Each structure stands twice: as structure tokens, then as C-alpha cells.
Amino acid sequence: MTAQSQLDLFGIPEKQKKKPIVSPSPEKKPTEYPSPKKKAASETKTVDYHDFPEDLPPSYLVSVMYDGKKQLASLKLYEPVSQKIYFWDDNTGHKPYCLTSLPIEELEKLRRVTGHSGFDHFETVEKFDPLLDKQVTVTKVVTKDPLAIGGRQSGCMRDIIPEDYQKLTGFEEPPKVWESYIRYYQSYIYDNNLAPGMLYKIQKGNLVPVQQTASKDTIEKILSLFPDVEKEFLESVETWARLLESPVPDFRRVALDIEVSSSIVTRVPDPQEAAHPVVCVALFGSDRKKEILILKRDGIENGDKKLPSDAIVTYFDSEKKLLQKLFESLRDYPFVLTFNGDDFDLPYLYNRARNHFSFERNQIPIQVGRRVCRVSHGVHIDLYKFFFNRSIQIYAFGNKYRDITLNAVGTALLELPKIEFEKPLSELSYTELAEYNLRDSEITLDLTAFNDNVVMKLILVLSRIARMPLEDVSRQGVSRWIRNFLYHEHRQRNMLIPNSEDILALKGATSTKAIIKGKKYKGAIVVDPVPGVHFDVAVMDFASLYPSIIKVYNLGYQTLLCKHEECKTNKVPETSHWICTKNKALESLLIGSLRDLRVKWYKPKSKDKTLPKDLQSWYTVIPSALKVILNASYGVFGSPAFGLYCPPVAEATAAIGRHVITQTIEKAKSLGIEVLYGDTDSLFLKNPSPEQIEIMAEWSKTTMEMELEVEKFYRYAVFSSRKKNYLGILKGGGVDVKGMTGKKRHIPLYIKKAFYALEERLEQVQSPADFDEAKKEIKKIIRDRYLRLKQRRWGDSPEELAFHVVLGKPLKDYKKTTPQHVKAALILKKIGYEMKAGDLISFVKVLKDPRVKPVQIASNSEIDVDKYVAYLQSTFDQILDALGLDFEEIIGLTKLERFM
DNA sequence: GCGGACTGCTTACCT
DNA sequence: ACAGGTAAGCAGTCCGCG
């Protein structure tokens, strides 16, 4: 539950390694298989990258899609030796279907069903209904086409079965339809027990999974960590272990970035219209191959920028030829990376080519969808979407990047900033533009290549866990990942996948009252801190508290509020909910085994420095991926967007969490340990002895089955009376600052600098005796900053005084109030800036009326100094309280002056 | 007409 | 489109005040 961790994937960038296959357990290279016949990318108009080999050596399943023309599932496989994508079409005759409670005889009465152009046939099947807790007989309605099940048009099975049957019989309760919302290719993955990201081969035209014989030892080792567990739990661990211990390919890929000429500087060109020419394109390959395509234009200087000597630079007289060459180069790479390519680069290229140069569809290797753009010959990954993902941002990259722009993410993760120019892009020379363009593509590529390709590995491992194509897993959120792996497990066990609304109707009600207005249920406990400076503080926390609770307490939508009378006494504390004592919940089993695998195997592995480099890299990726999933595994149950949405599951988890921590606090007190603070799953203990710590850990394990461990020791910690707000100096150095204003991103740099100086000074303090001296210097730091403000000596421009606040929604949606950053944004809009949700607004506080001004147009003379003094005060009050200091006294106001 | 108490909105953060 | 809890600042409203 801790957000920060040594396990995040951020690190100093390394040179990308050249290695065909990175295998955690050394695999035989698949060279014994015949090499697939080569098919050169021809320059003719034919786009037939569908290469359907009879035999294919071990290849990674990277995507599954539905081919509407052929009406079947089509797979993309990445062969790591030739580094090409091959296609395989389903040959098993698998078809789309949904399930319904109506028997065949009744369904046959429904004309619109049997007469539907997409209708294929009915089958009677047995399933286990997890909501009714019994075997049921249902009818499988099989169709020729997924659209017949539940497309966007009306008249599909999902709608007409209940509608028409109700009309026919006049019954109040319409018959149920299940699994009609599942995408066909996902259904195909579930039914065939496929795992995207894993190795398959094609043998005499059939798809065959490749068994990983060499990883057997590792699997055995892992399983031996779980001695006395139930068979089902062990099987689950084994499945996860197989998915996670498989080798990883080297992804041959290219980053694409385009530049478009535009008349208005502050506006992004519309990709639908694609009205302006594509003037420059940069391609940056994982083989470090650089290609720059430049359109010749009137009046543009060549410029004197030196481009890299190994870059292939081509000038084009005609934009059409440029596009042709670009498409040809793109086809050479199985994986295409962009930053915002779904919404800009790819649709722009497609529409430009179609609308202005009459390209045929098959001449463009781009497929434009509503929200996603694919490349027809391979896999397109839009890194904007991936890095935008909150879970990835926080848990995988430890919140290292704040806003999601190529520059911000690039700077934070790569130390490779964008190239800046004083003039607008339209005025750049050819070589200047090319340099800029190439750098963007380089950043894009490196975002996936740094730290030994962690990002590619992360996407791969997530797609294995979630059973989703790489394209989807990189674009969708954690609730989809968790939903899909749970759906898959339902199918594997022949369980009916319940409709979300049925779960909600049966067990949707919560029974606690949230502290925050508008929330569904009560959450975690935050203990009031003991204000002051405390030396020798041990921070103990529960390892994955919520996943542990889900595991130990058997939580899941099936087991909460179950049907059995005899379970009703098995109450969740502080709620009216009960938990089943007869059956095991699927979520409990799966999340539990995943948690145990992370704690028992992957976390220790990640600290093992004796492993070879590539293995070390892999063993940092996996715990991060697991962390992302586990951290969200509780929250999704409280989210309506989640397919198995069940608020009582989330509510019970939080309630048990409160119970666990409350008991632990009581235990500490009974041992005579002072509890200084605690939040959700952590306890700050004042100077406990090693024995006391041991007793706490042991007690927690035996009485609650929860693992309580020391996370860190503070030499001393500083608390005010505020929750979620403290500063801790670690034993051995380093400062943790949590929740303090001085660290928040929106605060002006001018104030942050003072806060940082304070931090540095506090870090020097070794003992209570050192504080006297430190306090003196802290007073000086604050007084200096204050005086400089008063004397208006902050620099040539008010840059350092700017607040930086994100625009949370489109400007027009601020209806109830107009916050200051919105006022600033409105001014910017007036002078021609395009303002959209997610933009970071920088503004300063001024004396004149709207009291704020965008920093771009503000000058030193108009700054409202007193406002900044007030901010300085509130920022430092958070610390000064505890140190026994007073801001106003520090800046030289006497008690009397303050009173007045 | 104005100021203080209050509520609600908004953002950033913690676990 | 994972959750709830907390801090802070500001916008807007209501009420009392001869």
C-alpha cells in the first residue's frame, strides 16, 4: 500500500542492450525450426503483410483481433529471430456467442432471433452460476458475427431476446442474457486459454503453445515456497508463475513522430481535416536507425544544424512521395511507437493520404478506429495512453513524472529534454526542424528502451496477466486488466460470467457511512499524530494489507452476502455484511496467490544482486507489474466501471482493514509502546525495542494472519497536528517529506527553495541537542526569504513566483466557481492560447483585479508581495509548530504588532 | 453595504 | 473510468448589524 518504493522502474538510463532473447531461465534458442520464408516489403501498392505460414517457430502472441471480412479470429505472432509479425487465422471454427436463460424451444419462437442474418445455431450448455451458487442449464446463442450479439446497432441478440420474449409472453421478468458485452477476441482468448505475450508455434497449420521446459526448475522452486496450501491455491500460483517466468523477446520497433505546418501557432492541426502538409517525419528504430523525411517548401533555409551522421535524410519534392516512403519504412517494423499517435499522428497521416493524395486504403498501413489507431502489419503502442495511466504513473514510476507530455515524461525518465527554439516551428530551417523532430522520435523510442527496455517488458507481462493483446493492455486501465483476468478464470472453470447489474441488484448495498460526502462507504483510519519532534521512530506496515485481507477473509462477489443461512453469523466488523463459510471466492484465490507470489518469490528476487543483469532487470519488472495490479485489486470493487463491481467487497475490505489496524494499535499500547501516528496500514512507533517489534510482528502473524514488518527507521520524525503531513529523517540519512505544502507541485519555486533549504538543514540534526543550532539557522532561512520578498528581489522575472495548477476539465465546465487558475486560463484563452483539460496553468498573484495573471504576461512590478508572504507562512507553519517556532516572530513582528 | 461564518468546489496529496 | 481520507485556498452565500 505504500506508494513510494525501491521497486519502481525508474532508474538512470542505460544504453540499450543488444540481445535477441532475454530469458529468465536460459532457453534454447528456437533456431532448430525452419526459418520462415522472407517476404520483402515491396514497393508496389500491395499491402499483404498477412503472411500465413504452415509452420512457424516459437513466436510471441501479441494480438488477437476479429477479421470482419473472413468472420474469424485472427492472431498476430511475433517471431523473435526474423523479428517479423506473422498472422494466423483461426481454424477451429470458434464463433461468437452469448448465453441466455431461455431454453431452445422458447428461443425458437422468437422470429427475430432465428431469422437474424447473423444467427448460426443454439446449443444447450451447463454452467455454474456464481450468484445463484448452483449449476444451471443455459442456451448458447451462436452467431456468425460478433455484431449480431451486441454491436452498436440495435437488433442484436442482447436486446432482442429479452424484448421479444417479454412481448411474446407478457412476463414481467425478461429472460437473462449473459456474456454479450465481452469483446469477441477476448472471448476467443478465454475459450482457447490463450495468453498474449506467451510463446506459440504453428505446426502444420495449427496453433500450439510452446512448453517452457527450461523454466521447470524455477517453477518447482517457486512451488516449494508454498508447502501446506490447498491444491487449488497451488495451481493458481503455478499458472501465474508460468506466465511470469517465460522469456521476453527483443522487440524490434520504431518510434514515429510527424511535424505538420500550421498557420496558427497556438492551435493543434485537426487530424480529421488534415488540411496542412506533413513537412517532416522522423523514424527512430530500436536498432538506432534514424530516418528523416523532409518536404521541400518555398522560402525555407537549409540551416546549419548538424544532424547525426548516421541519420538517413531524404528531401521530397512531393508530399505524396514522402508519405509513400514513410509507409514503406513503417512496414519494415513489427512494432510502431508514438506519443499520442492514436489521436494525432496516425489519423493525420491516414486522412492526409486519403483525402489529399487519393491513396487506397490498402496502400496505407494504418487502420483508424474511433479511439485507437492500429498498424495493419503489426502492433501500434501509443505511449501517451500508457504513461497517462494513473496506476503506471504512481506505482510503476513512483510519480516521477507529473504531467503527461513528451517533454515532461522524457525529462523525468530519460534526462533527454526536447529541443527548444525561440521561434515558431514554421520559421525553422530544414535542419532545425529535422533535429527537433528526430529528438522527439528518439525520446519516444527511449521511453520504451531505458533501463533495459522496462516499459516493453512491463506491457508484455501485463498482457500475460490480464490476457489482453498488447495494444489493449497499453491503452486501458487497471480495472480492465483485472476484469479480464477474472473473466478468463470464470471461463476456465465453466462459470457463468455475471452481469454487473445482477451483482449490483443482489449485493450492491453498502452499510457504512463515508466521512467524505458523496462517497459510498467508510474507508481507512488515520490516527491523529502526536505533534512535536520524536527521536527513534520505527515505521511498521502491513505487507499488501488489502490483498491480504481479500485472501485471508475470502472476499469476493460470490462470498459476500451469500445465500446460506448458516453463514450469516460470519459478520464483517462494523458492517451488516457476512462472508460465506462454504465456498471459496475466485478473487480471493487469485489475488491471494498473486500477492503471495509477489511477497514470497518476486520481492526477494528483486533484491538479489547476484543474478545476471538481464535477470535482475526482469525481476524488477515483475514485482512492479504485480504491485500495480495488487494495489488496485481492492479499489476496483468499488468502481462502477469494473465488470465485477461489488461495493460490499470494497467496503468489507476497508472495514477489516480498520479492524486490523485498530487491534494492532491496541496491542502496541498494551506493550507500552507509544503510537505516534498511523495511516491505513502503517504505524509509527516511538522508540520500540527490537524485542517489542518482534512481538508485534509475531502477534500479527499468529492472531490475524497478517504480515507486519518494519518498513523504515527514522532518526527523528516531525509531526504537526495535521494528518497525512509529516517529515522524517531516516537513520543513515535521507529525508521523507509527506503531504507538506512546501513539496506540492503547484507551489512557487521561490517557496519550494526555502523549504528545500530547511529540509537540508534538518537532515544534519543528529540528536536533540543539535536542534538549538538548527533552529537558529532555520530562522535565518525564513527571514532571508521573507526579506527578499519584501525587497522584491526574486529575480528578473516573476517566473519563480508562479503557481502551477492543472486544468482539471475543459474551461466551459467550470460552472459553479471560477478558481484562480481558471481565471488565468481564461486570460490565456483570450490572447489566443488553446486551453484544454490537463493543461498546466502557470500564474502569479497580482494586486489588480482578477488578482491573478498568467506568468507569460506578468511583470515584477504588479506582484502582490503580501500574498506570497502569507503563502510562505502557511507553508512553514506546518513545520514550525512542531519545532516550537513562530513565523511572525521570526520575520520580526513583535507580539504587539501581531496583535494589531 | 460589509464582514464574518459557513458551505462547497477544486486541486494536490497519502495510503 | 481502482478506492476513501486529509489539507488548503478560494468562491460564493447567508445573516446580522439600529
Split at pLDDT 50, 70, 90, the class of A262 is confident
- Whose CB is within 7 A of strand B? A 1-4, 394, 399, 402, 517, 524, 541, 679-682, 724, 737-739, 743-746, 804-809, 814-817, 819, 821
Mean pLDDT of A732-761: 94
Mean pLDDT of A751-757: 94
Residue A35: predicted pLDDT: 38
Residue A8: predicted pLDDT: 58
| Model pLDDT for residues A198-208, shown as the tens digit of each residue | 999 999 999 99
Contacts of A203 (CB under 8 A, 6+ apart): A55
Lowest-pLDDT range of A279-288, A394-403, A455-464, A734-743: A394-403
Residue A22: predicted pLDDT: 35
Contact criterion met (CB below 8 Å) for A157 and A116 = yes
Mean pLDDT of A176-184: 96
Q: Which nucleotides of B are covered by protein (CB under 7 A)?
A: 8-15
This prediction's pTM: 0.91
The string over A125-141, giving b where at least 16 C-beta atoms fall within 10 Å of a residue's C-beta and e elsewhere, is: eebebbbeeeeeebbbb
Contacts of A182 (CB under 8 A, 6+ apart): A190, A487, A497
Lowest-pLDDT range of A186-195, A391-400, A447-456, A723-732: A391-400
Strand C-contacting residues in A 178-197, CB cut-off 7 angstroms:
none
Residue A1: predicted pLDDT: 52
Split at pLDDT 50, 70, 90, the class of A7 is very low
Q: Which residue has the cell 449480431?
A: A148
pLDDT at A436 over 90: yes
Contact criterion met (CB below 8 Å) for A156 and A150 = yes
pLDDT at A14 over 50: no
Output phi, psi for A431, to 5 deg.
-75, -30
Residue A586: predicted pLDDT: 96
Contacts of A136 (CB under 8 A, 6+ apart): A101, A126, A127, A128, A129, A496
Split at pLDDT 50, 70, 90, the class of A9 is low
pLDDT at A45 over 80: no
Strand partners for A283: A256, A291
- Comparing CA positions, the residue from A499, A502, A473 lying closest to residue A485 is A473
One-letter amino acid at A115 equals G
pLDDT at A897 over 70: no
| Model pLDDT for residues A598-643, shown as the tens digit of each residue | 999 999 998 898 998 888 889 989 998 999 999 999 999 999 999 9
| Model pLDDT for residues A842-893, shown as the tens digit of each residue | 999 998 888 999 999 999 999 999 899 999 999 999 999 888 888 888 887 5
Q: Which nucleotides of C are covered by protein (CB under 7 A)?
A: 1-12
Å separating the CA of residue A66 from the C1' of nucleotide C3: 34
One-letter amino acid at A750 equals Y
Strand partners for A738: A726
Contacts of A615 (CB under 8 A, 6+ apart): A24
pLDDT at A490 over 50: yes
CA atoms within 13 A on the CB side of A50: 8
Where is pLDDT greater, at A737 or A30? A737
pLDDT at A37 over 90: no
Closest nucleotide to A481, Cα to C1': C2
SS3 A600: helix
Closest nucleotide to A815, Cα to C1': B9
Question: Checking phi first, is residue A795 left (phi over 0); if not, alpha (psi -120 to 50) or beta?
Answer: left
Q: Is A306 exposed, middle or buried (0-12, 13-18, 19+ CB in 10 A)?
A: exposed
How far apart (Å, rounded) are the C-alpha atoms in residues A570 and A559?
11
Q: Which residue's alpha carbon is at the shortest distance from the C1' of C12?
A: A817
* Residue A783 CB lies within 7 Å of the nucleic strand C: no
Split at pLDDT 50, 70, 90, the class of A899 is very low
Closest nucleotide to A726, Cα to C1': B14
Sign (positive/negative) of CA torsion A105, A110, A113, A119? positive
Residue A171: predicted pLDDT: 72
How far apart (Å, rounded) are the C-alpha atoms in residues A732 and A715?
8
Contact criterion met (CB below 8 Å) for A342 and A385 = yes
Residue A15: predicted pLDDT: 33
Kindly report the average pLDDT of chain A as a whole number.
Answer: 90
Q: Which residue's alpha carbon is at the shortest distance from the C1' of B10?
A: A819
Instruction: Tally the residues of chain A.
Output: 900
How far apart (Å, rounded) are the C-alpha atoms in residues A561 and A221?
38
Q: What is the DSSP letter of A794?
A: S
Residue A211: predicted pLDDT: 83
Would you state the cell numbers that stand for residue A666, as one nine-digit string? Answer: 491496541
How far apart (Å, rounded) are the C-alpha atoms in residues A754 and A750?
7
Å separating the CA of residue A841 from the C1' of nucleotide B7: 27
**pLDDT-above-90 percentage for chain A:** 76
Å separating the CA of residue A306 from the C1' of nucleotide C4: 54
Split at pLDDT 50, 70, 90, the class of A767 is very high
| Model pLDDT for residues A382-432, shown as the tens digit of each residue | 999 999 999 998 878 888 887 888 988 898 888 888 898 888 888 899 999
SS (H, E, C) A432-464: HHHHHHHHHHHHHHHHHHHHHHHHHHHHHHHHH
How far apart (Å, rounded) are the C-alpha atoms in residues A262 and A574?
61
Å separating the CA of residue A736 from the C1' of nucleotide B14: 13
Strand partners for A282: A257, A292
Residue A213: predicted pLDDT: 67
SS3 A844: strand
Residue A10: predicted pLDDT: 54
- Comparing CA positions, the residue from A868, A898, A900 lying closest to residue A787 is A868
- How far are the Cα atoms of A161, A238, A734, A761, A837 from residue A737, in angstroms, in the given order? 58, 40, 10, 14, 29
Å separating the CA of residue A789 from the C1' of nucleotide C18: 45
pLDDT at A464 over 50: yes
Å separating the CA of residue A900 from the C1' of nucleotide C18: 28
pLDDT at A568 over 70: yes
Strand order of the β-sheet with A526-527 is A526-527, A674-679, A682-686, A532-542, A708-719, A726-730, A735-738
